[in-house]
Amino acid sequence: MLTIAGHKFSSRLFGGTGKFSSSEIMKKALDASGCEMITVALRRVNLNDPGDDIMSIIDRKRYLLLPNTSGARDADEAIRLARFARASGGGDWLKLEVTPDPRTLLPDPVETLRATEVLVKEGFIVLPYMNADPILALRLQDVGAAAVMPLGSPIGTNQGILTRFQIEIIIEQARVPVVVDAGLGAPSHAALAMEMGADAVLVNTAIAVAGDPVIMAQAFAKAVEAGRMAYESGLGRQQRESMASSPQSGLEFLD
């Protein structure tokens, strides 16, 4: 079972609350996805307003809330948002997003590392959104990130896992859970991430903008489960060459 910062998750699919056409559809889709952690943009909600359109339909007994700092352009902005979120009852969990480039929304590695270091010291459970850079993943882990969230492709692009080779290295090296975040546009992308050994995936856009978000949420849930099962059962490996038997072993020198 997946454990992040001591919290156990039976679903390895994390959801989001952006881009849905209505709050009711969002609620149904999240329900159908079976996810147990959902991220909400701090800029989008009023955490302490019970009448907030998003907060009012999130059952916090059922879902762990993962506020995110979407929109922050540097570490200082992200840190300020995080402190504000906690003061407003948002809890200790934080998806750290520092995206200075409004066009690609790619994460700033330098500011993300700096903010992670500060926020961990303040007791936040920090899950940083990051480019799929293996060394950055290790640096974030070393300053106390509870998990790392490398992107498959730029957020909202539905391009799937364009960073496969890098993510494989991160999965191999990291001591903390690896959650593939951003760019997963189809259930097959999520399944691939899980087959590769990712600990979880976060999917928002692909579900929110689907023709039928509720059915798509179910499809992602199944894909994540299938991918994980495949990973755990030990995938048959692609053989690069057959076992050639050579008359000369090359080891004749052995006594």
Partner 1 sequence: MNIVFDYPAFDKLHEYFHTIERADVDRALFSTRPGLKDLAALLSPAAEECLPAMARRSAEITEQRFGRVIQLYAPLYLSSVCCNRCSYCGFSVDNQIERRVLSLDEAEAEAFILNERGFSHILLVSGEAPKVMGVDFFESLALRLKDKFASLSIEVQPLTTAEYARLFKAGITSVAVYQETYDRQIYEQVHLSGRKCDQQYRLATPARAASAGMREVGIGALLGLADWRAEGLALGLHLAWLRKQFWRTAFTVSFPRIRPAEGGFAALQPVSEKNLSQMIFALRIFDPDVGLLLSTREEPRYRDGMIGLGSTRYSAGSCTAPGGYLDPDSAGEQFAVGDHRSLDQVCSAIRARGFEPVRKDWDSMFQQHAA
Give Cα separations from 54 to 18, 64, 209 (angstroms).
10, 14, 17
Closest CA to 45 of 31, 29, 26, 61: 26
**Region 119-148 residues binding partner 1, contact defined as CB under 8 A:** 138
Chain-centre distance for alpha carbon 254? 51
CB of 194 to partner 1, least distance (A): 15
Residues 6+ apart with CB under 8 A from 68: 39, 40, 41, 42, 94, 95, 96, 97, 129
Residue 95 appears among annotated catalytic residues? yes
Nearer to partner 1, 176 or 203 (CB): 176
Backbone angles phi, psi at 53, to 5 degrees: -60, -35
CB of 249 to partner 1, least distance (A): 4
Q: Which one of 19, 95, 121, 222 is the catalytic residue? A: 95
How far apart (Å, rounded) are the C-alpha atoms in residues 13 and 131? 20
Size of the site for partner 1 (CB under 8 A): 20
Q: x/- string (CB under 8 A) for partner 1, residues 236-255?
A: xxxxxx-xx-x--xxx-xxx
Q: x/- string (CB under 8 A) for partner 1, residues 217-236?
A: -------------------x
Nearer to partner 1, 56 or 165 (CB): 165
How far apart (Å, rounded) are the C-alpha atoms in residues 233 and 211? 33
Tokens 């454990």 correspond to 3
**Region 153-192 residues binding partner 1, contact defined as CB under 8 A:** 168, 172-173, 175
Nearer to partner 1, 176 or 200 (CB): 176
CA dihedral angle for residue 143, residue 144, residue 147, residue 150, rounded to 10 degrees: -10
Nearer to partner 1, 71 or 109 (CB): 109
Residues that bind partner 1 (CB under 8 A): 138, 168, 172-173, 175, 236-241, 243-244, 246, 249-251, 253-255
Residues classed as catalytic: 95
